[in-house]
């Protein structure tokens, strides 16, 4: 039917419209008449398209009837479920609705807004908003609902009529199926009357009479009498009657011991309408019994597992815990419920073991072979349990791993005991090693002590130490000595490898620098031992794996350094070796110091002995001369006592005696002076004086001696050089220097100069005599030191020592410049003002 738009645009006459539509509604016998009704409705309301829609319980929307849709469009399914939309916005697949000018009007057919009844709606599409007074909305809704009901009825009756012809066959088929079923089946109409029950049902329940009556109530009452819980049974039956949509299942315990599994569900027609309820009963007595037996067995197995001391954990192939026996629970503090379905690495492993054990799990699954491992579990209280596992797999029917069974023994205490035992063992071994080390150390040191005690010679002492150390303690031993003038002498390089002689030679020639930042030079400077545990490069291309430098310290003085070097592959030096080396160095330094003291003492004794022989010779010479002079005088007197002694001979003897007396006095005074100086008893009597005039005075005193020695003296002491000095001490200085210049001047000219440089008076005494060997020049200022043979030159070796002491007391300096055979120059400098 085509839409009559002119008519549609007319104002509708409600009464006329109602009459026409009611008549059309009454005519509805099939889908076509329903569609005609819709077309009339659309025409009256001026709609291009009118749709009557319905949604089922799943939200699926169906088209009941329509006007303005092609047959093709009617065949299109509405894909959007209502649950995701609402009637007014529902997406529809019909091309007729494509025009954007069409306005949708929605008339829900429910009783009230939001009720479940709103599963139906009338949708009207027109070019403008629907013209329909509000009061007609209800009417349209009633008409549409009537249409819906009528259509529903027609559909059902159509189905019924359609199926009427095939019903006998279908019924026969259904019955045979039902009879063939192992389940007892009873079908009831919604109102409760029995529609059908199969043979198996009556066999199971034994309710033939009640079945024949067809009464549901009789059946329920009779059946209730046969079950263990009649009241529950009746209440359940009533519940299903009151709730036709409900699906349920349960077990029913029969009085005779059987167990029926009951399943019940609504029976629906093809359109989804519920028209009855089916009950399906299955005798599950034996199944439940076997289930119970299985459960019992499982409980039994569980009991066994739980009574075992071993830990048993069963995992599925994804690692989730599905069994966790008591031993596991005791070990971890977790209950089975807490770990059920948890992957074992999430709950029980230490973070550091995680990846390792996951990989192990994968290997186990892949290899399907039993594997052993030991790992730690973290208990709930944070303590670790050490567990030795034996893991195996259970394969499913498909041959793939279904379960992993881990059987473990808690070895925590055992491992702790082992660790304790290992610790004790290690401690014992360490203690033994320490004792042995101590023993070796003592043996080494006692060897060193024996060696050091047996020698009073510095050189052999040091050589002995080096021999002792190499190769027992070191592969290389180097000894450097520090002299009082801060010069370093490398005196020894000892090594174990004869092929290294050339390197040793190079090393011997290398003298460490006191400015070095490490090694022997630094130790000589700081006096502190140094341990170089890393590879240290040494001269001569040697590379020590490890190196030790220890100072030789005695009486707070650094005498030298011992350097010990180790070559690979020997173990590097540590603190133990360092302290051993220090002890060795301490003893060595003591021995060296003793050797030096001994040497000094020996030299002092030799010097004293030499002095005594010289002194006795020096003293004896004037005494002998004096004795001879006296004896001559006495002899002359005895021969002619009355005769007056020759006036010529007597005074000559007396003069000789006096001269030698003076010499004796000077010798004794020198000795006294030295002992006074050494005792520190030297008082200075300072006064202003002129050094030039004193030099001239002393020179005049030496006139006779100069003449005797045929020595020419040149004096340059004209200008006065004033200063505060002790006159008698300066006189002593001049006397000793003049006397030496004449004594060792070989009769050659002697020059004396007095001058002044800044605040210093400068005295120079130069001769051109025998001179002094270079190596002796440093020693001649020490007491009793002489650089000449006493056979040719008399003297006690005290003069220069006294001069040196006096000059120092006056705050000045004295030095000598000399060439053997060319003469000597003594230079004295005195500050003019003594502080
Ligand atoms: P003595 O002259 O009694 O031996 P001194 O102390 O005066 O003692 O001198 C020490 C030594 O120094 C001398 O024995 C001598 O060897 C050396 N000596 C001193 N003065 C001179 C000099 N002018 N020329 C060479 N040798 C000298």
* CB of residue 804 inside a 6 A radius of ligand 1: no
Report the C-alpha dihedral over residues 799, 804, 806, 810, rounded to 10 degrees: 160
* CB of residue 108 inside a 6 A radius of ligand 1: no
Query: Which of helix, strand or coil describes residue 608?
Result: helix
CA 713–ligand 1 middle distance (angstroms):
19
pLDDT exceeds 80 at position 119: no
Residue (of 307, 300, 342) closest to 326 by Cα position: 307
Are 230 and 209 in contact, with CB atoms under 8 Å apart? Answer: no
CA distance 99 to 251: 60
Q: What sections of 691-822 are H helices per DSSP?
A: 691-701, 703-708, 727-743, 799-809
* CB of residue 615 inside a 6 A radius of ligand 1: no
* CB of residue 784 inside a 6 A radius of ligand 1: no
Q: Which residue has the higher pLDDT, 229 or 166?
A: 229
pLDDT band for position 752 (50/70/90)? very high
* CB of residue 798 inside a 6 A radius of ligand 1: yes
Q: Which residue has the higher pLDDT, 328 or 304?
A: 328
Q: How many H helices and E strands in the chain?
A: 25, 28
Mean pLDDT of 385-389: 91
Q: Which residue has the higher pLDDT, 795 or 754?
A: 754
* Ligand 1 atom 4, closest CA: 797
Are 702 and 682 in contact, with CB atoms under 8 Å apart? Answer: no
Are 197 and 185 in contact, with CB atoms under 8 Å apart? Answer: yes
Pocket probe mutation, ligand 1, options 744, 751, 802, max atoms within 8 Å of Cβ:
744
Give yes or no for a cis peptide into 707 (omega within 30° of 0): no
Residue (of 106, 129, 127) closest to 48 by Cα position: 127
Residue (of 597, 585, 376, 328) closest to 466 by Cα position: 585
List pLDDT tens digits, range 501-534: 888 898 899 999 999 888 899 999 999 999 986 7
Atom of ligand 1 nearest to the CA of 823: 24
Residue (of 211, 169, 168, 209) closest to 186 by Cα position: 211
CA 680–ligand 1 middle distance (angstroms):
24
Are 324 and 342 in contact, with CB atoms under 8 Å apart? Answer: no
**Chain-centre distance for alpha carbon 6:** 94
Residue 615 confidence (pLDDT): 75
Q: Which residue has the higher pLDDT, 65 or 255?
A: 255
Residue 160 confidence (pLDDT): 52
Residue (of 425, 348, 336) closest to 382 by Cα position: 348
* Ligand 1 atom 17, closest CA: 787
Spell out where 320-475 has E strands: 321-324, 371-378, 384-395, 401-410
Spell out where 259-400 has E strands: 259-268, 274-283, 311-316, 321-324, 371-378, 384-395
Which two structure tokens, joined as six digits, stand for 255? Answer: 């009085």
Q: Which residue has the higher pLDDT, 615 or 757?
A: 757
* CB of residue 488 inside a 6 A radius of ligand 1: no
Residue 223 confidence (pLDDT): 92
pLDDT > 90: what percent of the chain?
A: 32
Q: Which residue has the higher pLDDT, 272 or 166?
A: 272
pLDDT exceeds 80 at position 580: yes
DSSP-assigned letter for residue 570: S
Residues linked to residue 490 through DSSP beta bridges, in sequence order: 480
Residue (of 332, 330, 392, 327) closest to 365 by Cα position: 392
Pocket probe mutation, ligand 1, options 607, 621, 668, 740, max atoms within 8 Å of Cβ:
740
* CB of residue 706 inside a 6 A radius of ligand 1: no
Report the C-alpha dihedral over residues 330, 331, 333, 334, rounded to 10 degrees: -90
Helix (H) or strand (E) holding 185: strand 184-189
pLDDT band for position 7 (50/70/90)? very low
* CB of residue 788 inside a 6 A radius of ligand 1: yes
Mean pLDDT of 475-496: 92
CA distance 65 to 284: 49
CA 294–ligand 1 middle distance (angstroms):
127
Instruction: Say what angle helices 575-639 and 649-679 make with each other, to 10 degrees.
Output: 160
* CB of residue 769 inside a 6 A radius of ligand 1: yes
* CB of residue 656 inside a 6 A radius of ligand 1: no
* CB of residue 611 inside a 6 A radius of ligand 1: no
pLDDT band for position 711 (50/70/90)? very high
Residue 115 confidence (pLDDT): 45
Q: Using the Cα atoms of residue 350, residue 351, residue 357 and residue 358 in order, give the sign of their dihedral.
A: positive
pLDDT band for position 480 (50/70/90)? very high
Mean pLDDT of 314-327: 90
Of 201-205, 298-302, 627-631, 689-693, minimum mean pLDDT range: 298-302
pLDDT band for position 10 (50/70/90)? very low
Q: Which residue has the higher pLDDT, 116 or 274?
A: 274
Of 15-24, 364-373, 435-444, 535-544, minimum mean pLDDT range: 15-24
Which two structure tokens, joined as six digits, stand for 693? Answer: 């005039």
Atom of ligand 1 nearest to the CA of 771: 25
Distance set, CA 708 to CA 329, 373, 715 (Å): 124, 114, 18
List pLDDT tens digits, range 327-348: 899 889 999 999 998 988 888 8
The residue length of the chain stands at 835
Q: What is the 3-state secondary structure (H, E, C) of 398-443?
A: CCCEEEEEEEEEECHHHHHHHHHHHHHHHHHHHHHHHHHHHHHHHH
* CB of residue 787 inside a 6 A radius of ligand 1: yes
pLDDT exceeds 50 at position 70: yes
DSSP-assigned letter for residue 682: -
Mean pLDDT of 121-145: 71
The burial class, CB within 10 Å (0-12 / 13-18 / 19+), for 748 is middle
pLDDT band for position 743 (50/70/90)? very high
| Rounded (5°) CA angle 382-386-391 | 120
Residue 116 confidence (pLDDT): 46
Atom of ligand 1 nearest to the CA of 785: 10
CA 780–ligand 1 middle distance (angstroms):
7
Residue 84 confidence (pLDDT): 62
CA 438–ligand 1 middle distance (angstroms):
58
Mean pLDDT of the chain: 84
pLDDT band for position 369 (50/70/90)? confident
CA 740–ligand 1 middle distance (angstroms):
6
Of 109-118, 292-301, 444-453, 543-552, minimum mean pLDDT range: 109-118
Atom of ligand 1 nearest to the CA of 798: 6
* CB of residue 799 inside a 6 A radius of ligand 1: yes
CA 800–ligand 1 middle distance (angstroms):
7
Residue 178 confidence (pLDDT): 65
Distance set, CA 420 to CA 169, 396, 411, 413, 635 (Å): 89, 45, 14, 10, 110
Residue 817 confidence (pLDDT): 96
Residue 707 confidence (pLDDT): 93
CA distance 211 to 202: 8
Give yes or no for a cis peptide into 754 (omega within 30° of 0): no
CA distance 823 to 745: 7
Residue 722 confidence (pLDDT): 95
Per-residue buried b or exposed e for 590-611, using 16+ beta carbons within 10 Å of the residue's own CB: bbbbbbeeeeeeeeeeebeeeb
Atom of ligand 1 nearest to the CA of 781: 6
What are the backbone angles phi and psi of residue 636, rounded to the nearest 5°? Answer: -60, -40
Residue 676 confidence (pLDDT): 80
Residue 562 confidence (pLDDT): 95
């Amino acid at each position: 039917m085509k839409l009559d738009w002119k008519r549609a645009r007319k104002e509708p006459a409600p009464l006329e419209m109602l009459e026409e539509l009611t008549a059309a509604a009454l005519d509805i016998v099939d889908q076509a008449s329903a569609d005609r009704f819709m077309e009339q409705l659309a025409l009256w309301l001026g709609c291009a398209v009118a749709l009557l829609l319905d949604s089922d319980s799943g939200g699926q929307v169906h088209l009941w009837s329509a006007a303005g849709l092609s047959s093709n469009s009617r065949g299109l399914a509405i894909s959007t479920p209502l649950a995701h939309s609402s009637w007014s916005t529902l997406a529809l697949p019909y091309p007729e609705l494509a025009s954007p000018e069409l306005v949708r009007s929605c008339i829900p057919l429910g009783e009230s807004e939001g009720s479940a009844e709103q599963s139906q709606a009338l949708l009207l599409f027109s070019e403008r908003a629907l013209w329909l007074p509000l009061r007609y909305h209800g009417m349209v809704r009633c008409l549409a609902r009537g249409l819906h009901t009528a259509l529903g009825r027609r559909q059902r009756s159509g189905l019924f009529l359609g199926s009427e012809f095939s019903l006998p066959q279908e019924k026969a088929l259904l019955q045979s199926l039902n009879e063939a079923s192992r389940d007892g089946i009873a079908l009831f109409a919604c109102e409760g009357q029995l529609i059908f029950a199969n043979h198996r049902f009556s066999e199971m329940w034994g309710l033939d009479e009640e079945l024949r009556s067809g009464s549901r109530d009789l059946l329920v009452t009779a059946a209730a009498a046969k079950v263990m819980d009649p009241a529950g049974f009746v209440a359940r039956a009533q519940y299903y009657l009151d709730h036709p949509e409900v699906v349920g299942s349960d077990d029913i315990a029969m009085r005779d011991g059987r167990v029926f599994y009951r399943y019940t569900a609504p029976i629906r027609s093809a359109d989804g309408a519920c028209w009855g309820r089916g009950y399906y009963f299955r005798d599950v007595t034996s199944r439940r019994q076997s289930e119970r037996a299985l459960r019992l067995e499982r409980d039994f197995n569980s009991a066994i597992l739980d009574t075992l001391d071993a830990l048993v954990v069963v995992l599925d192939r994804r690692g989730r815990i599905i069994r966790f026996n008591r031993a596991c629970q005791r070990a971890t503090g977790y209950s089975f419920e807490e770990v059920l379905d948890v992957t074992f690495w999430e709950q029980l492993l230490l973070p550091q073991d995680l990846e390792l054990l996951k990989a192990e799990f994968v290997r186990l699954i892949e290899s399907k072979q039993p594997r052993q491992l030991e790992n730690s579990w973290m208990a709930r209280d944070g303590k670790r349990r050490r567990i030795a596992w034996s893991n195996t797999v259970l394969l499913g029917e498909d041959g793939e791993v279904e379960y992993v069974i881990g059987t473990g023994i808690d070895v925590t205490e055992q491992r702790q005991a082992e660790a304790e035992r290992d610790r004790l063992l290690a401690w014992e071994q360490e203690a033994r090693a320490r004792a042995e080390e101590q023993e070796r150390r003592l043996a080494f040191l006692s060897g060193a002590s024996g060696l050091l005690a047996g020698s009073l010679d510095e050189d052999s002492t040091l050589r002995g130490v080096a021999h002792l150390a190499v190769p027992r303690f070191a592969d290389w031993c180097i000894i450097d000595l520090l002299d009082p003038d801060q010069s370093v002498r490398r005196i020894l390089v000892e090594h174990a490898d004869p092929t290294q002689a050339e390197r040793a030679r190079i090393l011997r020639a290398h003298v460490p620098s006191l400015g070095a930042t490490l090694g022997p030079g630094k130790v000589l400077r700081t006096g502190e031992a140094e341990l170089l545990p890393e590879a240290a490069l040494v001269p001569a291309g040697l590379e020590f794996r490890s190196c030790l430098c220890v100072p030789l310290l005695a009486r707070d003085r650094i005498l030298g350094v011992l350097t010990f070097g180790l070559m690979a592959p020997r173990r590097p030096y540590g603190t133990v070796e360092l302290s051993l080396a220090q002890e060795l160095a301490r003893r060595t330094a003591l021995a060296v110091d003793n050797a030096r003291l001994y040497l000094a003492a020996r030299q002092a004794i030799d010097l004293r002995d030499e002095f005594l022989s010289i002194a006795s010779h020096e003293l004896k010479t004037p005494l002998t001369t004096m004795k001879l002079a006296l004896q001559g005088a006495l002899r002359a007197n005895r021969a002619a006592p009355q005769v007056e002694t020759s006036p010529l001979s007597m005074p000559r003897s007396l003069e000789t005696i006096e001269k030698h007396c003076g010499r004796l006095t000077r010798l004794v005074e020198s000795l006294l002076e030295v002992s006074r100086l050494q005792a520190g008893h030297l008082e200075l009597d300072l006064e202003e004086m002129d050094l030039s005039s004193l030099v001239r005075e002393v020179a005049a005193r030496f006139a006779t001696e100069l003449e005797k020695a045929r020595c020419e003296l040149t004096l340059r002491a004209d200008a006065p050089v004033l200063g505060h000095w002790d006159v008698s001490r300066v006189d002593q200085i001049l006397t000793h220097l003049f006397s030496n210049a004449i004594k060792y001047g070989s009769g050659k000219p002697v020059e004396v100069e007095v001058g002044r440089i800044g605040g210093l008076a400068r005295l120079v005494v130069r001769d051109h005599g025998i001179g002094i060997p270079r190596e002796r020049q440093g020693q001649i200022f020490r007491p009793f030191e002489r650089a000449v043979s006493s056979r040719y030159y008399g003297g006690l070796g005290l003069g220069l020592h006294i001069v040196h002491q006096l000059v120092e007391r006056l705050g000045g300096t004295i030095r000598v410049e000399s060439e053997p055979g060319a003469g000597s120059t003594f230079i004295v400098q005195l500050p003019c003002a003594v502080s």
